[in-house]
Structure 1
């Protein structure tokens, strides 16, 4: 007999923040910390998938004096936090992952101009990687889980089970769909088989809970009116036990609808309602196409409680992703990175290069 799923919903969170007040950056070569602080806020505003990052170290700074101001070049070392980008916390208040949690780091080059007392980040480029490789972690912590690619079939199956469990919660007014998978880890557990530990973001849809509708057909609520849930799940293969813990984030727009008024229909954002469009162009293969099977968000799934058909063979496509977010569970800059780690959400270069134009056939 399979154990009953466990669902724990943490209290809802709504943190309202006005834009941060930043000290002006000067052209004094000793103002590296101020320039780095401004750079970090810009990265936080434009990095719109995966997790928030915090500044760990200022590796180097250069200041070039130009007419009317100066140009800064910063080398910054960043560390990934436990906060999803949908978490309303300021990134400075987020906890950094410990080493045994498979810490992630990013080395960034940031270009900034200062003219007439106003600073502006013009470009940044980051190299995001795991702080320790799997081989290094095995020597340090043999029993620690390892990170899996975000499109791992078994890992996505565990997310699928967690999503179904979440949608069975009677306190939800609407069904939720998967916005993105943040990370998937695995380890062998004695007498319980392989364990899969996932983190992911769910997005509230317009479909009332209990309605008999294909979940993939459910359109999300407008970004400012939708609840989001950041969830952590654990799944063991021996007994197919699933547990889910979620933190629910309230929408920023809580205005009640008037009598007879329907939810507004919004154009789908490119970034889950956070930051500017990524302008991803056509670079690279489709999300999750790392050579490990078809994308899990191809819209071929069944109704809300019928995601498991055909999955026992290991060829499942995973949970239904939000079809209205073209990036699905992966990042927009895959085509612009060299050998990105498929287990991570990297900091994309900003601004993204224009997609290369295809030569015309003569």
Structure 2
């Protein structure tokens, strides 16, 4: 059903008007064009569905567009998307439009570069590659804006680990499932402190095990094990940890993902990466059209070109804004020089 919902958005696409040739047969597109915006929404939905860890991304703005015609009816879009993290786990498979972005005090923001092929006539949407970089808001900016607001903290914090253990034990005891769940990953933690008061919120993912009693608990096999996303809370005013978990039905997929998401430290913190600065992974090689298109009879797949190194003349830099996220996109040097991405 979700796939059909995505395909229905193709109705918003129309032919892209003529534009200057950028490189190797690409055309510069407009970030205000309705077809490019529709392609950006489809691309982000496909990226979120492809990912196996983290949170659903929502579209903040489209910041670069290039296109390449394929056949009479197809188009490859090379897009740069400014994104924000939402409160939905990728395991939920929810569409990004149904998710809320993070509160202004704890946003995670970044950019995704993606190549996506769309044929409206054949009702085909095919994500080829993507590369995302995200980073959290600097804690100092949050404290300056709102001293008693929640701000991100290390998931290795002993209090965070304690809250995870207590809340998961509580869920397994009271959740009503015959088999217990075990911790997969602590996704994020935030806290606030004001004089003698403190407040912690922790989010983590869990997976069902084979246990029927005590002892070591192996995970259930692929396709049989449910996963969950939990939110736990404990403050200095509470006597017990609260926990709320969403449980998702088993899903088995051994496919190779089409891209990656890299998390960097907040702006202003040192980034130490033992590699050189180069183009994103999607730039490394051209995917040649040497095989039959799996969805369109009599047509080969499109060639995926190296990602463009220039910003389209019809797309403009992120302006300064009223919200913290808008100002971070405006100030962050990582996204001003959006083509310079660290890759290993």
Distance apart, 1:43 and its partner CA? 0.6
TM-score, normalised with respect to structure 1: 0.59
Native 8 Å contact 1:48 1:274 kept in 2 = no
TM-score, normalised with respect to structure 2: 0.61
Instruction: Give the structure 2 partner of residue 165 of structure 1.
Output: 170
Distance apart, 1:122 and its partner CA? 2.4
Native 8 Å contact 1:166 1:244 kept in 2 = no
SS of corresponding position for 1:158: helix
Structure 1, residues 319-349: CA drift from partner, whole Å, max 9, x if none?
A: xxxxxxxxxxxxx866xx766899xxxxxx8
Q: Once superposed, what is the RMSD of the aligned Cα atoms?
A: 3.6
Instruction: Give the structure 2 partner of residue 156 of structure 1.
Output: 161
1:95 aligns with 2:80: no
- Work out which structure has the larger RCO, using CA pairs closer than 8 Å and 6 or more positions apart in sequence: 1
Native 8 Å contact 2:49 2:90 kept in 1 = no
Q: 1:188 to 1:247 in 2, by over 3 A?
A: same
1:276 aligns with 2:261: no
Aligned equivalent of 2:5, options 20, 41, 44: 20
Native 8 Å contact 2:133 2:261 kept in 1 = no
CA distance in 1: counterparts of 2:47 and 2:104, whole angstroms = 23
Question: 5 Å matches for 1:121-132?
Answer: 121-130=127-136, 132=137
Distance apart, 1:142 and its partner CA? 0.9
SS of corresponding position for 1:162: helix
Gaps of 5+ in 1: 1-15, 254-272, 281-331, 343-348, 355-362
Moved more, 90-99 or 69-78: 69-78
Native 8 Å contact 2:152 2:188 kept in 1 = yes
Question: 5 Å matches for 1:215-226?
Answer: 218-226=217-225
CA distance in 1: counterparts of 2:116 and 2:58, whole angstroms = 19
Native 8 Å contact 1:148 1:185 kept in 2 = yes
Distance apart, 1:190 and its partner CA? 4.5
CA distance in 2: counterparts of 1:170 and 1:63, whole angstroms = 50
Structure 1, residues 110-161: CA drift from partner, whole Å, max 9, x if none?
A: 223457854533222222122x311111111111122123333432232122
Distance apart, 1:36 and its partner CA? 1.0
Instruction: Give the structure 1 partner of residue 247 of structure 2.
Output: 249
CA distance in 1: counterparts of 2:249 and 2:227, whole angstroms = 8
SS of corresponding position for 2:249: coil
Q: 1:97 to 1:48 in 2, by over 3 A?
A: same
**Number of corresponding residues:** 252
Native 8 Å contact 2:180 2:209 kept in 1 = yes
Q: 1:353 to 1:189 in 2, by over 3 A?
A: farther
Moved more, 170-179 or 240-249: 240-249
Structure 1, residues 60-104: CA drift from partner, whole Å, max 9, x if none?
A: 32223466554322121112111111224333211122202x011
Native 8 Å contact 2:49 2:93 kept in 1 = no
Native 8 Å contact 1:61 1:75 kept in 2 = yes
Instruction: Give the structure 2 partner of residue 316 of structure 1.
Output: none
Question: 5 Å matches for 1:334-345?
Answer: none
